[in-house]
């Protein structure tokens, strides 16, 4: 884990995946060469990092397999401690000499512990009697859950890494690409539309694209894909990764409609190349035509038609009342979709849930343990060494411990 931590830090601090020249330029000849030859330029994909991970996973798995059955079987998994010195190093701890035979003293101590709702186990160890008592509740399942979470995460990670696939598809709006879906069926994915949404402060609030998936028998699904909202279909996931404008191919044109005084009646009129706009109430239509030189055609009330080559700032007066001002071409958009297949993701998800649950159960649920060693003392008496530990609320543990010790003192 220490070596992995150091390598991870190196991988996080040294830029990864650059060319050899970059490292020589940035870190000098010696260190740059060292980084390159030790493959520190690609730590997370290096063989030694993978093998260290495999080693760690193997160890976690071995520990889990070794420890889990005992954990699952044992209702009181705490171990005996037979060294009084070790017990007296705990906080809280105490040594009490009672006027009883050791076995009698043990029985009294066990009785006291049971009154405080502890589950108790005892055994003879040399010349002493040792007792371990625990009040674990659900907390004892914490380590079981944590071990299980590691196994699930491990299995899920391996499945995702070795059985999954991911590919990026960059497509112009209106175009399609093929995807091999579950069962080997090839489906056609068409990016039908793309839009950017703005909030009331003109910040981009979202971007989204409409996607249609068609199989041999026609349309399978149509959905809107946006960040945080992938399309999940036929064991594949489609993520909208990014978009880019391509100014070399206009998708449409932005125009404004002005009245006779020059005031904007329709300040933003989008005229798509593929779908001609028609503004009937203005008694004229504007049509963008796709081609090397885009044209706009305006039809007047009297049936007259004018065609103009599209250029920025072009103004066409219609019926004397309105004017169309063509402002600029709207570039087409190219979107990148990521297509993912990850068969192990359910395992990862379960592992993550168990990791959370195990952490909370282990550390947030209270568990207390009390250890005792009873040994013969001079004059037929017994010496009781007792110590305790609590996972939470140490003050409460001290109060409970003091109460138990006072009861034991009464026997002294």
Judged by the rule CB under 8 A, the positions of this chain that interact with other proteins are: 1, 4-5, 8-9, 11-13, 15-16, 44, 91, 157, 160, 166, 199, 201, 203-207, 226-230, 237, 239, 241, 338, 340, 345, 348-349, 352-353, 355-356, 359-360, 362-364, 391-392, 394
Rounded Cα gap, residues 95 and 206, in angstroms: 69
Nearer Cβ to other proteins (43/374): 43
Least Å from the CB of residue 276 to other proteins: 31
Nearer Cβ to other proteins (24/46): 46
Nearer Cβ to other proteins (115/229): 229
- Tokens representing residue 261 in the block: 């005084």
Least Å from the CB of residue 190 to other proteins: 20
Rounded Cα gap, residues 100 and 408, in angstroms: 11
Residues with Cβ < 8 Å from 37, sequence gap 6 or more? none
Q: Is 196 exposed, middle or buried (0-12, 13-18, 19+ CB in 10 A)?
A: exposed
Judge contact between 331 and 254, C-beta under 8 A. Answer: no
Nearer Cβ to other proteins (75/356): 356
Nearer Cβ to other proteins (327/398): 398
Least Å from the CB of residue 253 to other proteins: 26
Least Å from the CB of residue 352 to other proteins: 4
Nearer Cβ to other proteins (43/96): 43
The label of the residue with tokens 């297509």 reads 339
- Tokens representing residue 195 in the block: 């839009």
Nearer Cβ to other proteins (324/371): 371
Is the preceding omega at residue 339 within 30 degrees of 0, hence cis? no
Least Å from the CB of residue 144 to other proteins: 14
Least Å from the CB of residue 12 to other proteins: 4
302: DSSP letter? T
Strand-pairing partners, residue 295, are 289, 309
- Tokens representing residue 314 in the block: 């072009």
Q: Residue 256's closest CA among 180, 182, 314, 297? A: 314
Nearer Cβ to other proteins (35/382): 35
Nearer Cβ to other proteins (44/51): 44
Least Å from the CB of residue 19 to other proteins: 18
Q: Residue 367's closest CA among 139, 144, 146? A: 139
180: DSSP letter? E
Parallel, antiparallel, or unpaired for β 381-390 and 368-377?
A: antiparallel
3-state secondary structure 312-364: CCEEEEECCCEEEEEEEEEEEEEEEEEEEECCCHHHHHHHHHHHHHHHHHHHH
Least Å from the CB of residue 348 to other proteins: 5
Least Å from the CB of residue 50 to other proteins: 12
Least Å from the CB of residue 246 to other proteins: 20
Nearer Cβ to other proteins (325/348): 348
Judge contact between 211 and 222, C-beta under 8 A. Answer: yes
Judge contact between 117 and 135, C-beta under 8 A. Answer: yes
Judge contact between 185 and 198, C-beta under 8 A. Answer: no
């Amino acid at each position: 884990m220490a070596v992995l931590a150091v390598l991870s830090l190196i991988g996080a601090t040294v830029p990864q995946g650059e060319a050899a020249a970059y490292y020589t330029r940035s870190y000098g000849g010696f260190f740059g060469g060292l980084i390159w030859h030790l493959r520190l330029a690609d730590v997370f994909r290096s063989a030694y990092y993978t093998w260290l991970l495999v080693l760690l996973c193997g160890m976690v798995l071995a520990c889990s397999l070794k420890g889990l059955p005992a954990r699952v079987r044992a209702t009181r998994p705490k171990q005996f401690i037979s060294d009084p010195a070790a017990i007296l190093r705990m906080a809280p701890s105490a040594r009490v000499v009672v006027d009883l035979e050791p076995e009698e003293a043990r029985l009294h101590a066990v009785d006291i512990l049971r009154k405080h709702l502890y589950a108790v186990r005892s055994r003879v160890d040399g010349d002493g009697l040792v007792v371990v008592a625990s009040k674990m509740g659900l907390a004892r399942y914490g380590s079981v859950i944590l071990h299980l979470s590691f196994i699930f995460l491990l299995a899920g990670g391996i499945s995702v890494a070795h059985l999954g696939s991911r590919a990026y598809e960059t497509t112009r709006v209106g175009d399609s690409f093929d995807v091999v879906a579950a069962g080997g069926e090839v489906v056609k994915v068409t990016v039908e539309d793309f839009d950017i949404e703005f909030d009331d402060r003109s910040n981009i609030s979202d971007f989204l694209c409409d996607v249609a998936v068609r199989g041999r028998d026609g349309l399978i699904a149509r959905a809107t894909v946006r960040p945080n909202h992938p399309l999940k279909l036929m064991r594949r996931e489609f993520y909208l990764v990014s978009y880019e404008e391509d100014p070399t191919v206009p998708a449409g044109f932005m125009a404004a409609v002005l009245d006779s005084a020059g005031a904007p009646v329709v300040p933003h009129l989008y005229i798509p190349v593929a779908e001609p706009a028609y503004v009937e109430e203005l008694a004229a239509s504007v049509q963008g035509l796709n081609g090397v030189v885009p044209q706009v055609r305006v039809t007047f009330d009297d049936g007259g038609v004018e065609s103009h080559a599209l250029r920025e700032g072009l103004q066409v007066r219609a019926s004397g009342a309105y004017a169309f001002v063509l402002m600029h071409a709207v570039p087409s958009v190219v979107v990148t979709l990521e297509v993912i297949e990850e068969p192990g993701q359910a395992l990862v998800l379960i592992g993550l849930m168990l990791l959370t649950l195990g952490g909370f159960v282990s550390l947030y649920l209270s568990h207390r343990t009390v250890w005792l060693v009873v040994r013969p003392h001079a004059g037929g008496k017994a010496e009781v060494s007792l110590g305790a530990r609590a996972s939470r609320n140490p003050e409460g543990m001290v109060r409970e411990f003091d109460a138990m010790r006072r009861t034991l003192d009464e026997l002294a």
